[in-house]
Amino acid sequence: WITDDAILSTQADMWDGPDDARVLDVCCGSGVVGNAFRGTVGHITGLDLTPEMIAMAETRLDVVQQGDVYDMPFEDNQFDLACNREVLHLLPRPDIPVGQIFRVLKPGGTFIVSQLVPYGPEDAPWFFRIVKKKQPLFFNNLMAEDMVKLLEDAGFVDITMKELICWEDIDIWIDTWETPNLHRHEIRQLYYDAPAEVRRVHPFEIRPDGGILDQWRWVVLRGRKPSA
């Protein structure tokens, strides 16, 4: 689980549109991302594939619809804002959902997305192994420049990016149903055995009790669909 609320507040702060905006929270999960915009927008719709997540999101969002991000069940030009956090790395073809987001946004609409990324090529392979152990469906070790290109290729313009550095407790992060005990042990061992080139660019701390605090690098991007 992600404990630092700075990512959500940064995404919300990057919204500068109307307070009656129609919002789509893409792959909404529990609905915390869309809910971060509450009070600054009008109506918030969530989209997710799993009934369990939909049930959780219904406590936070105005309406939640079941559907596939590769073929979103919405007409063109429906939303003023689309938001997403930490999902694109789980998709084999993230370009398709980003294209779908572009399609369902109104002309002039905004996409605000956040993603955990490596610091650089030095820690990228090591970080891929860690996240893959935690999330077996991890497909894409996206770099900051990859995120920019995804938005550009979909047609978004006026792209801006903010970088956030957030400390996370790894024991809390891996305390989920998707991470078996064996993988939790292997994740900790990857930190304990991290090579020097990783430690030079990717700060983390190992506490006396063996617990791990990792200084994660996040990017938050905002892109606009050109006006008609």
Residue 198 · residue 120 · CB < 8 Å: no
pLDDT exceeds cutoff 80 at 211: yes
C-alpha neighbours within 13 Å on the C-beta side of residue 189: 8
Q: What type of residue sits at position 191? A: Y
145 lies in some domain = yes
Does 131 map to a domain?
no
Residue 75 in any domain: the answer is yes
The range of the structural domain enclosing residue 95 comes to 6-118+137-167+215-224
pLDDT value of position 1: 61
The contacts of residue 144 (CB under 8 Å, 6+ apart) are 117, 161, 163, 219
Q: What is the pTM of this model?
A: 0.94
Residue 194 is assigned to a structural domain of this protein: no
Q: What is the CATH number of the domain that holds 44?
A: 3.40.50.150
Q: How confident is the model at residue 2, as a pLDDT?
A: 72
> What's the start-to-end Cα distance of the chain, in Å?
40
Residue type, position 11, single letter? Q
In a domain, 179, yes or no: no
| Residue-level pLDDT at 126 | 98
Q: Structurally, how many domains does the chain consist of?
A: 1
176, part of any domain:
no
DSSP one-letter code for 133: H
If one compares 6 and 105, the residue with the highest pLDDT of the two is: 105
Domain presence at residue 152: yes
Higher pLDDT, 24 or 6: 24
Q: What is the pLDDT of residues 174-209, one digit of tens each?
A: 998 889 999 999 999 999 999 999 999 999 999 999
Quick check: is 54 in a domain? Answer: yes
Query: Tens digits of per-residue pLDDT, 11-39?
Result: 999 999 999 999 999 999 999 999 999 99
Per-residue pLDDT at 209 = 94
Residue 207 tokens read as: 């506490």
Q: Report pLDDT for 202.
A: 98
Rounded distance between C-alpha atoms, residue 80 and residue 106, angstroms:
6
3 — pLDDT class (breaks 50, 70, 90): confident
The band of 172, judged by pLDDT with boundaries at 50, 70 and 90, is very high
Tens digits of per-residue pLDDT, 57-108?
999 999 999 999 999 999 999 999 999 999 999 999 999 999 999 999 999 9
Q: How confident is the model at residue 114 (pLDDT cuts 50, 70, 90)?
A: very high
Calpha distance 46→57 (Å, rounded)? 7
Angle in degrees, CA 90, 119, 33, rounded to 5: 45
